[in-house]
Amino acid sequence: MIRLMLLLLGITAMVLFGLYLLLDDKKYLHYFKQTLKYTLFLMVLVAVLFVLRRILYV
């Protein structure tokens, strides 16, 4: 499930960046930056949850 979400977020980010380069509209760059920010937040959250799970179930 996590791999699928990261794959879809990566595709979304590349499409938004491509639209920014193609159309030169700043809103796509803003959406791209937000997508990257929330993707990094999601990755950190998942990593913390994995570490907590390893600590609590040992």
pLDDT at residue 7 in the model: 92
Instruction: Compute, in degrees rounded to 10, the torsion defined by CA atoms 42, 3, 31, 40.
Output: 30
User: In this structure, how many other beta carbons lie within 10 angstroms of the beta carbon of residue 10?
Assistant: 13
DSSP class of 24: -
Spatial separation of the C-alpha atoms in residues 19 and 1, rounded to whole Å:
27
Taking phi over 0 as left and psi of -120 to 50 as alpha, with beta for the rest, 50 belongs to: alpha
At residue 52, the pLDDT reads 95
> Model-level pTM greater than 0.85?
no
Per-residue pLDDT tens digits for 2-43: 788 889 988 999 999 999 999 999 999 999 999 999 989 988
Give the pLDDT confidence score for residue 15 in this predicted structure: 96
